[in-house]
Amino acid sequence: MREFGYHRAYDVAGALALLGADPDARFLGGGTNLVDLMKTGVERPASLVDVRELPLDGIEPTADGGLRIGATVTNSDLAAHPEVRRRYPALTQAVLAGASGQLRNMATVGGNLLQRTRCAYFTDVTQACNKRVPGSGCPAIEGEHHNHAVLGASEHCVAVHPSDMGVALTAFDATVTYETPDGPGRSPLTDFYLPVADTPHQETVLPPGALITGVTLPPAPVAARSRYRKVRERASYAFAIGSVAAALDVRDGVVQDVRLALGAVASRPWRARTAERALAGAPAGAETFAAAADAELAAARPLPHNGYKVTLMRNLIVAVLTELAEEAAR
């Protein structure tokens, strides 16, 4: 690991100034992803600007009945917050399904959304990888890709985004807020991650040097009955091979409102809008749920070794929606 500078920022303006002073500087959240990447040489920042002392560690209600979550809130504090647990239970479940207790104590909301893919070629600097070295190629397409994307990928990159938190936030229409030296900005999380296309190294809409300040969740009564289900290759301490965040409101056997997002299937948390449209106003039942899942997954383009994900996701969507519908009927 090469030498690097370390600075701690105490206010947003100071953080932006410290970062702007060094073109090779990076913000440091909990460091649970960035420091690992520095050890392997994937990231080589000249200096780090630690953001954990910034006054961005609160979770507060918004005037319209939503929640504002600061960027430096730890994963543990987010999962444990009573209003998150009560109003957006799938968000608590998603966060608790990720990493380990020790990691969640360190990891922050901003860092979780910006964590990098776990594609083995990306994390190995001896390999080609378009995301790490633009134009060098994508060995995953012909090589090891059993946990890679089946939706929204391109011939230039088939990596998946690893965040669990981001899947639940996507289902609930979260908006990311950020600050830049030129002023504040915001982006719905559904638009925050750029399409892969031929530029997989460009991952988000954030302008260079932007500091994520928080995430805002709009009010969503349907989210009070929501669930996150994650499938992984071992029972804990593993990234998803497929996940679903869903919320469902059923009255008189008919779907009134639904939110659905999928994880570990694309380069970003995947909002399943096609399935949502198929479900709205339809009778709540296994047939409807399966048809909605099929409609969403019709766009899937699996590779030779990850076709299982299409079946997995279909079953996962049907199972989670069925559980939520049964709960609503009680």
Ligand X SMILES: Cc1cc2nc3c(=O)[nH]c(=O)nc-3n(C[C@H](O)[C@H](O)[C@H](O)COP(=O)(O)OP(=O)(O)OC[C@H]3O[C@@H](n4cnc5c(N)ncnc54)[C@H](O)[C@@H]3O)c2cc1C
Look-up of token digits 């910006």: 114
* Min separation Cβ 119 and ligand SF4, Å: 3
What are the residues binding ligand SF4 (CB under 6 A)?
117, 119, 121-122, 129-131, 138-140, 148, 157-159, 200
C-beta closer to ligand X: residue 167 or 255: 167
Alpha carbons 156 and 136: distance in angstroms, whole number: 10
* Cross-strand bridge partners of residue 236: none
Which position among 99, 215, 247, 318 is part of the footprint of ligand X (CB under 6 A)? 99
Q: Contact region for ligand X (CB under 6 A) — 29-37, 194-202, 215-223, 302-310?
A: 29-37
User: How would you class 208 by CB atoms within 10 Å of its CB: exposed for 0-12, middle for 13-18, buried for 19 or more?
Assistant: exposed
DSSP reduced 3-state for 203: coil
Contact between 263 and 242 (Cβ < 8 Å): yes
* Min separation Cβ 135 and ligand X, Å: 22
DSSP state of 80: H
Which position among 18, 33, 121, 132 is part of the footprint of ligand X (CB under 6 A)? 33
Residues whose CB falls within 8 Å of the CB of residue 142, separated by 6 or more in sequence, listed in order: none
Instruction: Give the torsion sign (CA, 314, 317, 318, 320).
Output: positive
* Min separation Cβ 281 and ligand X, Å: 33
Q: Is 175 in the site for ligand X (CB under 6 A)?
A: no
Which tokens hold the place of 159? 């990596």
- Restricting to residues 279-318, name those near ligand X by CB under 6 A: none
Q: Which does 130 bind (CB under 5 to 8 A by kind): ligand SF4, ligand X, none?
A: ligand SF4
* Min separation Cβ 83 and ligand SF4, Å: 36
* Min separation Cβ 263 and ligand SF4, Å: 17
Look-up of token digits 């091979």: 241
Q: Kindly list the residues in this chain that would bind ligand X in the complex (CB under 6 A).
A: 26-34, 36, 51, 71, 98-99, 103, 106-108, 110-112, 114-115, 162-165, 211-212, 239
